[in-house]
Every structure is written in C-alpha cells, then in structure tokens.
A and B are shown apart, each in its own frame.
Chain A
C-alpha cells in the first residue's frame, strides 16, 4: 500500500473509515514510520484542540446568571400609561398653546424647524413634513424599524435598495421641484452689486455679505455682517452677528443674530431671535412679527400681530392687530397706534404715554408662588420619571449589553467626566459646523437629533448606576429594572432641590455622556481592530 493522505489519516483517527479500509491503514501504519508519525501528530492535535476548547478562562456575564423573565410586564404597562399621560400633558400644556399662538402670529404653514432647515431650496420636498411631531414620529419609526431589521439587513440589502430606489423615485415625482441655487463662499466678503440679479435662490457663506442687487429666490446667508440694500423676492434666512435690511424683502425674514436693524420693507412675516432688534420708523412689515430679544424697539409699521419676549420692549410705531408682550419693562409711546388689544405679561408697571392709541390693555402679573407648592409640579415630576423609566426600559431590553456597559462605565468617574465634558460641548459645535456646509446639512441635523437623545440617555445611565451603587450589581433583567427605577427616583428628587438641582442635572449629563461614549468605544473597538488588521 502507498502512503495514505492526511484526509484518510483524520477519518481513520475519528473512526469514520469502512472497517476494511481501516484495517489497511492500520497495517500500513505499523510498517511505515512516516505515516505513523502523521497519525501521531494528528491525534495529538485533536487532543490539544479539545483541551484548548475546553479551557475555561472567561467568566459568565452577570446578566446571564438569572433566567430570562417573561411575566406580565407591569412595569411596561405602568410606565407606558405614565408616558401617555406625559405626552398628553406636554401636548395640551405646551405644544397646543404654542401652536395656537404661533398660528395667531402668522406661522400657519410651517414651524420653526421646517422654516429653519427645510424651507430652503434643497428641502422643498420636505414641506409635507410640516409638523415637528410628524418629523419626530417618522424619525422614531425609522430608528425602530432599522433596529428590528438590523439582524436581517444583509439579506435585505438588495430588496432594500430596490425599495429605496422606488421610494426616492416616488418622492422625486411627488415632491415639488427644487429650484436650482447659487452657492457663494465669500473671499472673505461677498457683494452682490447693484444692477446684478441672481435668478435663483442664493446661499452665501462669507465674513461680510452685502446685497445691493436683486435675488429672485430665497437668500440664505451665514455671515458676520449682513446688509440687504437690494431686493429679495423670496425669504431671507440668516445667521449673523449683525443683520441690516434697508431694501425690500417680498417674503419672510427669519434671523438668528446679535443685532437686527430693519429700515426697509418685509412683505410677509418677520421673526428674530437676537440680542437687540430695532424696527426703525421707516420699517414696514406686511404681516406678523415674532421676537425673542433682549432689547426690542418697534418704531415702524407692522400689518399683523406682534408677539414678543423681551427684557425691554419699546413701542412707538403702528401695529395692525394684537400686541402680545412678555417683558420686564414695557414702554408705549404717544405715537404708538395699536389696532388690537395689548396683553402684557410682566412684573413691572408699564409706561404708557398719554395719547398712545391702542385696544383694550391687560396686564398679567406672573405668579410668584413657589413651584413646590403646586401639585401640578409633582405630577410633572412623576410623569418625567415615567418617561425616563420607559426610555431606560427600552434601552435595557433592546440593548442589554450596551446598557450594562454604559452604567458600568459610570464607575470610572474621571475618564467618564472628562470624555463627557469634551463630547458634550464638542458634538453640537461639530454638528452646527456640519450644518453650515450644504453637503453636511443632513448629517448635521441627524447628529443634533442623536445628540439630544444621547444627552437624555446619559441621565438614564447615571440613574441606573446610582441604583446599582445602592443595591449592588444587578444579576438579571428584573433586578436591573428595579435598580433603574430606584436610581431614577433618587436622581429626580435630587434634581428638584433648589440651587443645586440644575448642577446635579448638568453633572449627570456629562458624566453619563462620557460613560456612553466609553461604552460605544468599547463596542466599536473589536471591529476597528479587525478592520485595521484586514
């Protein structure tokens, strides 16, 4: 017989050969040293392999110590009930009144977020998602569906690509056609000279931006100093240190600026979040004005309502409809002509000159009764606890390993706090920078949304850690849920303490955020190492 090969040797050792063939192999091995050596080596390899596999050098994780539970999910039921109540309270107490007020001020078509991000040229197709609630619900649904499909994504890649392409195609057909746009980067300044016309929307990123010519579409500008002397036929959306409008804007003006001066004409609505806002005597706003400003002066003419939150508010111009003010210092001069009623919410007595024309005046003095004396305050706290508990449960049950890692990382106080402080401030800055570049707008918004979720999750991780620190490490899902509930209760009580409550929340945010970053890093590390090796 010739020498046998390795396959035959292995099958022989494993007792898988036919008896006759096995006898031949056995007989040959007795005579052939080379084949005997091969058999011996393979046999020893088998033993070595078994020993290596049997060696126990890793302990069983704590979360596997207890059997997975499947009882009545009373915790879920209670917490879902609480969170439904919370959602209802938030809706009736905050969202609906805000919506009503915003609608009164001319914001019936869109809200702040869509105005800011989605009303620009590239996002006109998103106008269907006008409501913030719809947008959040869609985001949540996307996250949940992605999570549910995560295990199947490879199988679904082809199908997903087909469906995705079909969806994109449908959207492209259904969405209003997005106009073309010109994008200008100043060097360092940008100037649209008088007589020049931009026939489309205009995006500008520059140190100083001066518009003396005409823009037929919207003007979206990020700049230190923005001056509009020309004519913008669409909206002006502006992030600037200083914004001055001397010319004409046919659409809306939405600005985020340190100081805003209007001497020209705004055809529709004007909204400003700024340190100082001046609607000078020549200014004319066609519809409503919404302000969030430290100091505000209204000397020009407003066709619709004025809704303002300002430390000092000085009115000497004309308002076509209602004036609603929340302020510390309200002054209404004799030249003022306010057609509708004036509602003023503030502690101080307003200064109203003789001769000022206005509808019925009403002052509401904000209640100063301590919040601790109101039942509603405690009810809100219970609801917030419920929301936190549901959120924690979702994390705990969907991502038990990650939850355990993040709460565990809270134990490493110094690195968690250090990473937390760094990422807590660096992430939004990076996201805003990403937003400022057109390509990164989607990435920036997504990062900001994830950041908000992450900051909230941080407080839950710290609560989970507090629970474990008090009751000892959890040894099963039920125990972890109990510890989470207790931790949330304690942290919520601490957060309502006067003076220190805010600081406790801040500490929880950066501490938990750092722990979460460490847990994410821990999860990514093996993959990073593997990809580096490849």
Chain B
C-alpha cells in the first residue's frame, strides 16, 4: 500500500542503512531520518488534530516515541506504514483524552438516521469548496469522524488498520466513514447561506 509521500526520496536500501545507524545511536542518522519524515508527519497531524499548536506538539512527541520504539519495528514491513501507525495511535490517544466530555454531548449523533444523498447537490458541494475550506471543515468535525477520514483518505490505511487504531470492530469502519462523509457535507453546507442539508435528498 502506498503511503503519503515524504519530503525527499530515500531508497529502501538507504532507509535500511539509516535505520541501522539510528539503532546504533548515530545522531546524524537520526537527524537524517527526522528530516525525511517530519514534514509528512506534521501534515498528517495537522489534518488529524484540530489546531496547529496540537500538530506541532504531536509531531515532536511522535518522533520521541519513534526513537524509543524503533527496536520494535519489524524491518520486513514498510517503514512508513509503521511510522503512520505510531503517529495515528498518538493522535488518537491525544484526542481520546479530551473526548470524554464531547462524547457525552454528541453521542446521540451516532445513532441518527442518515439522509440519502442527492448526487447533484453532492457535485455542487465539491465544486463550491476549495481544499482549504474542506480542511477548515475537518477541524470542526467530531474527532472520530475526522480521524476516520484522515486515516482512510490521507494515510491510505486499510479498514483493519483503521479498526485497530480507533479501537472499533472492522465491520463498523464503513459506517464510521459514511457518517464522517455526511458530517463533512453538513459542516460544509452550513457555511453556505441557506444550504444546510443541501447534499441530502430524502431520508433513506
């Protein structure tokens, strides 16, 4: 599975060599590894967490964890998959710690029936909104919904990986993604005067 691209291109052999040197305590190699992946991880955190400050703090903390846990990385698997797993676990832990109250307030939303989408309104929503607006809308979404979208459509994680990260059953991941898409449409539609629920047609 292809993950998000990193800053520079490092071949598999180069990466393996750098990882070996990092494990041996080589500070230069650690700097090299960090420079290679820090920007990508920051961008991932920026999408997964609601504020820039959170993303900055999380990036630093994730790399601290990576350095501690590098011994547990299985080199037969892609490094970026492992790195994104560490990052997503960290972000989800961060969000979960803050989530208790939010869940109490919004728990009912999870059980509300979804409205059937109107394909033409869906198209209009896509035309009317820039990437920046979509990302701003993400910050307003519930943590789990945002996290699900980012893990699936930014980090290219499989349903199994998402289920593992978010601590839900695999069968529930699809529901989570569908509800997240609905929530995103609603948040975007709220920004357009008189367009609340624009993407929804009749109740399914």
On A, residues with C-beta under 8 Å from B are: 5-7, 10-11, 14, 16, 37-38, 40-42, 44-46, 48-58, 60-61, 63-68, 70, 151-152, 154-155, 400-401, 523, 526
Q: Residues 125-136 of chain B: 1 if any A CB is under 8 Å from the residue's CB, otherwise 0?
A: 010011110110
Which single residue of chain B is at the shortest CB-CB distance from A34?
A: B119
**13 chain-A/chain-B pairs, Cβ below 8 angstroms:** A14-B174, A16-B159, A37-B119, A44-B123, A49-B149, A51-B131, A55-B132, A58-B52, A60-B39, A60-B42, A67-B30, A67-B31, A154-B101
Knowing A41-B119, A55-B131 touch, does A63 contact B174 (C-beta < 8 A)?
no
Give residues of chain B (114-170) contacting chain A, Cβ–Cβ below 8 Å.
114, 116-117, 119, 122-123, 126, 129-132, 134-135, 149-150, 153-154, 159
Contact for B56 among A57, A152, A401, CB less than 8 A = A401
Pair count A-B, CB < 8 A: 115
Across the interface, do B153 and A155 meet the contact criterion of CB distance under 8 Å? no
Across the interface, do A64 and B60 meet the contact criterion of CB distance under 8 Å? yes
Across the interface, do B150 and A53 meet the contact criterion of CB distance under 8 Å? yes
Query: B interface, by DSSP: helix, strand, loop or mixed?
Result: helix
Q: Which of B69-77, B84-92, B175-183 contacts A (4 or more CB under 8 A)?
A: B175-183
Across the interface, do A52 and B131 meet the contact criterion of CB distance under 8 Å? yes
Across the interface, do A48 and B126 meet the contact criterion of CB distance under 8 Å? yes
Q: In the complex, given contacts A49-B181, A52-B135, A58-B43, what are 16 additional A-B residue pairs having Cβ atoms less than 8 angstroms apart?
A: A10-B178, A14-B159, A41-B122, A42-B122, A58-B52, A60-B38, A64-B38, A64-B56, A66-B31, A68-B34, A68-B63, A154-B101, A155-B100, A400-B56, A401-B53, A523-B53
Q: With A and B bound together, what is the CA distance between A53 and B148 in angstroms?
A: 13
Which single residue of chain B is at the shortest CB-CB distance from A11?
A: B174
Which single residue of chain B is at the shortest CB-CB distance from A67?
A: B34
Across the interface, do B178 and A57 meet the contact criterion of CB distance under 8 Å? no
Q: With A and B bound together, what is the CA distance between A117 and B161 in angstroms?
A: 59
A16: B residues at CB distance < 8 A: 159, 174
Q: With A and B bound together, what is the CA distance between A5 and B182 in angstroms?
A: 14
Which single residue of chain A is at the shortest CB-CB distance from B101?
A: A154
Q: With A and B bound together, what is the CA distance between A11 and B159 in angstroms?
A: 11
CB of B35 closer than 8 Å to a CB of A = yes
Give residues of chain B (25-47) contacting chain A, Cβ–Cβ below 8 Å.
30-31, 34-35, 38-39, 42-43, 46-47
Q: With A and B bound together, what is the CA distance between A5 and B178 in angstroms?
A: 11
Which single residue of chain A is at the shortest CB-CB distance from B173?
A: A16
Q: With A and B bound together, what is the CA distance between A60 and B37 in angstroms?
A: 12
Which single residue of chain A is at the shortest CB-CB distance from B174?
A: A11
A6: B residues at CB distance < 8 A: 114, 116-117, 178, 204
Q: With A and B bound together, what is the CA distance between A54 and B100 in angstroms?
A: 30
Knowing A48-B126, A56-B43, A67-B38 touch, does A7 contact B57 (C-beta < 8 A)?
no
Q: With A and B bound together, what is the CA distance between A54 and B165 in angstroms?
A: 21
CB of B51 closer than 8 Å to a CB of A = yes
Which single residue of chain A is at the shortest CB-CB distance from B190?
A: A533
A54: B residues at CB distance < 8 A: 4, 154
Across the interface, do B135 and A154 meet the contact criterion of CB distance under 8 Å? no
CB of B196 closer than 8 Å to a CB of A = no
CB distance from A321 to the nearest CB of B (A): 60
B132: A residues at CB distance < 8 A: 55, 57
Knowing A67-B34, A154-B101 touch, does A50 contact B154 (C-beta < 8 A)?
yes
Q: Which 6 A-B pairs have the closest CB atoms?
A: A67-B34, A41-B119, A55-B131, A52-B134, A52-B131, A53-B154
Q: With A and B bound together, what is the CA distance between A332 and B98 in angstroms?
A: 71
Q: With A and B bound together, what is the CA distance between A48 and B30 in angstroms?
A: 36
B150: A residues at CB distance < 8 A: 53
Interface centre among A44, A68, A155, A400 (most CB of B within 10 A): A68
Which single residue of chain A is at the shortest CB-CB distance from B204?
A: A5
Which single residue of chain B is at the shortest CB-CB distance from A401?
A: B53
A523: B residues at CB distance < 8 A: 53
Q: With A and B bound together, what is the CA distance between A45 and B121 in angstroms?
A: 11
B181: A residues at CB distance < 8 A: 10, 45, 49
B154: A residues at CB distance < 8 A: 50, 53-54
CB of B64 closer than 8 Å to a CB of A = yes
Q: With A and B bound together, what is the CA distance between A64 and B31 in angstroms?
A: 11
CB distance from A382 to the nearest CB of B (A): 31
Q: With A and B bound together, what is the CA distance between A483 and B126 in angstroms?
A: 47
Q: With A and B bound together, what is the CA distance between A42 and B199 in angstroms?
A: 12
Across the interface, do B64 and A154 meet the contact criterion of CB distance under 8 Å? no
Q: With A and B bound together, what is the CA distance between A61 and B101 in angstroms?
A: 31
Q: With A and B bound together, what is the CA distance between A30 and B184 in angstroms?
A: 29
Across the interface, do B100 and A154 meet the contact criterion of CB distance under 8 Å? yes
Across the interface, do A38 and B119 meet the contact criterion of CB distance under 8 Å? yes
Contact for A45 among B35, B100, B122, B131, CB less than 8 A = B122
Across the interface, do B46 and A44 meet the contact criterion of CB distance under 8 Å? no
B53: A residues at CB distance < 8 A: 401, 523
CB distance from B150 to the nearest CB of A (A): 7
B56: A residues at CB distance < 8 A: 61, 63-64, 400-401
Across the interface, do B126 and A64 meet the contact criterion of CB distance under 8 Å? no
B123: A residues at CB distance < 8 A: 41, 44
B153: A residues at CB distance < 8 A: 46, 49-50, 53
B204: A residues at CB distance < 8 A: 5-6
Q: With A and B bound together, what is the CA distance between A49 and B119 in angstroms?
A: 15
B178: A residues at CB distance < 8 A: 6-7, 10
Interface centre among A44, A52, A155, A401 (most CB of B within 10 A): A52
Which single residue of chain B is at the shortest CB-CB distance from A402?
A: B53
Contact for B119 among A5, A7, A40, A55, CB less than 8 A = A40
A45: B residues at CB distance < 8 A: 122, 126, 181
Q: With A and B bound together, what is the CA distance between A7 and B43 in angstroms?
A: 29
Knowing A6-B178, A54-B154, A64-B38 touch, does A155 contact B149 (C-beta < 8 A)?
no
Q: With A and B bound together, what is the CA distance between A45 and B31 in angstroms?
A: 38
Across the interface, do B39 and A401 meet the contact criterion of CB distance under 8 Å? no
Q: With A and B bound together, what is the CA distance between A14 and B31 in angstroms?
A: 38
Q: With A and B bound together, what is the CA distance between A52 and B134 in angstroms?
A: 7
A42: B residues at CB distance < 8 A: 117, 122
Across the interface, do A53 and B47 meet the contact criterion of CB distance under 8 Å? yes
Knowing A46-B153, A64-B56 touch, does A155 contact B126 (C-beta < 8 A)?
no
A65: B residues at CB distance < 8 A: 35, 38
Q: With A and B bound together, what is the CA distance between A40 and B126 in angstroms?
A: 13
